[in-house]
Structure 1
Amino acid sequence: MDVKTASLFRNGRSQALRIPREFELPGSSVSIRRLPNGHLEISPLGETGLLAAFKDEPPLPEEHWMEAIQDLPAEPVDP
């Protein structure tokens, strides 16, 4: 794992992070969240994850979406 030191600075009332060039992210926005261990996870916004992985796949034929579910009668309940 490649580890570098990054600079923190103030930009108005916000704290900013200067990211080294080799870690540069695409686009102009990122998502950020705090993990349970206190670390931050920073991810580029845009097509990522499963949606991006399957975006070029053709849709499934209609018969594969969901099989018919048998409508069973309600079971009696004791008062």
Structure 2
Amino acid sequence: MSDRTIKEKRSRIFMNGRSRAVRIPSDFELEGDEVIIRQEHNGLITIEPVEKKMTPREVIAWLRAQPPLPEEEWLPEIEDLPPRDVDL
């Protein structure tokens, strides 16, 4: 038996303006406000949430909240060699 759990429920399709819409039951909660809808050749339709992209400010705030790296994970010091002469 697979370790993937599949939930199944019936839902209604209804008209919303000029589009058909489907109600997503609350126990199939999706993150965010957008989804990607795909229809395969056999008619199977999949709905998946769109991952929210972090703004640069959110990335910086996230990085600041991370614990410092242990010393063994630091980058090694790089020997700063003098510049070479270049014949222009």
Normalised by the length of structure 2, the TM-score is: 0.50
State the 4+ residue runs in structure 1 displaced beyond 4 angstroms: none
The structure carrying a bigger strand percent of its residues is 1
CA RMSD in angstroms comes to 1.7
Does the residue aligned with 2:7 lie in a helix, a strand or coil? coil
Q: How does 1:1-79 map to 2 (within 5 A)?
A: 1-46=6-51
The CA distance in 1 between the partners of 2:15 and 2:46, in whole Å, is 20
- Structure 1: tracts of 5 or more residues without a match: 48-79
SS in 2 for 1:22: helix
User: Which runs of no fewer than 5 residues in structure 2 stay unpaired?
Assistant: 1-5, 53-88
**Percent identical residues:** 45
Say which one has the larger Rg.
2
With normalisation by structure 1, the TM-score equals 0.55
